Amino acid sequence: MKNRGSEGRDNMERTKPNGPKSIDMKKKKKNMQRLGGAGLSLEAFANAKSTNSHYNPALIKKHREFYKNAKYVSKYKKSQKQQNQQGVIPSAKTTQEDDNEEKHCSKLDKRNKKKKKGSHGLKELYEKQQEEKEKARLEREAIIQAKKEERARAEAQRKAARENMLKRTRHGQPVMKYRIEHLLQSIQSSSGSSVNKNT
C-alpha cells in the first residue's frame, strides 16, 4: 500500500501543468518568438556590430581640396576670358604690350567718354524714377491719412450715438427721444436713397 501511494504522488507531480519547469519553458518560447525564431546567428550579430560609418577624415580633406582647386581654376579662366574680351592682354605678352600701349590708352579713353555720356543719361533716368517713387509714396500717405480721418470721424459719431442710445431716466427706463431721432434719421436716409434710385 505504501508503494502504491508513493507511486501515485510521483505520477501527480509529473502531470502537474504549472510546475516551475513549465514557466521557464514558456518564457523561453516567448523570448524566441520576440527575437524572430532562433535569434541572431553569430555572423549576423558580428556584422551588425561592425557596420562602417563611412567617416574618413583624410578622404573628406581630399575632396575639399579638390573642389577648392576647381573653384580657383574656374575663377582664373573667367578672369582670363574677361581680359581677352576687354582687349587687355595677359601678362605673358609683355613685349606686345609695350608696342600697343598708346592704342590701348586711346581705346580706354574712348570707352570712358562713352561711359560718362551713358552714365549722365542713367543718372537722369534714376533721378526721374526716384521722383516718381516719391510722388507715389506721398499720394499713398495722403490717401491713408484721409482714410484714418474718415474712420476717426465715423467712430466719434458712432460713439456719440451709442452714448445717447444708452441714456436712461431716473427710473432706469431708456430715454426715447434719442431712439426716435435715430429711427427718423434712418427712415429719411432710406427714403432719400430710394427716391434717388427711382429718378
pLDDT at 118 over 70: no
Chain centroid offset of residue 80 CA: 39
Out of 30-39, 111-120, 179-188, least confident range: 111-120
- Specify the 3-state DSSP secondary structure of 35: coil
pLDDT class for 56, splitting at 50, 70, 90?
Answer: confident
- Specify the 3-state DSSP secondary structure of 99: helix
Determine how many CB atoms are found less than 10 A away from the CB of residue 158: 10
Position 185, amino acid: Q
Among 94, 96, 78, which Cα is nearest to 86's? Answer: 78
Residue 88: in which H helix or E strand, if any? none
Residues 6 or more apart whose Cβ sits within 8 Å of residue 13: 19
pLDDT at 98 over 60: no
Q: Taking the model in full, what pTM does it have?
A: 0.32
CA–CA separation, 44 and 36 (whole Å)? 13
Please state at what angle helix 101-166 crosses helix 176-198, rounded to 10 degrees.
Answer: 130
Is residue 164 exposed (0-12), middle (13-18) or buried (19+ Cβ within 10 Å)? Answer: middle
Average pLDDT, integer, range 108-122: 64
Strand partners, 191: none
Which of the residue ranges 1-5, 45-49, 116-120, 127-131 has the most confident prediction, judged by mean pLDDT? 127-131
pLDDT at 194: 72
* Mean pLDDT computed over every residue of the chain: 77
User: Cell 484721409 identifies what position?
Assistant: 146
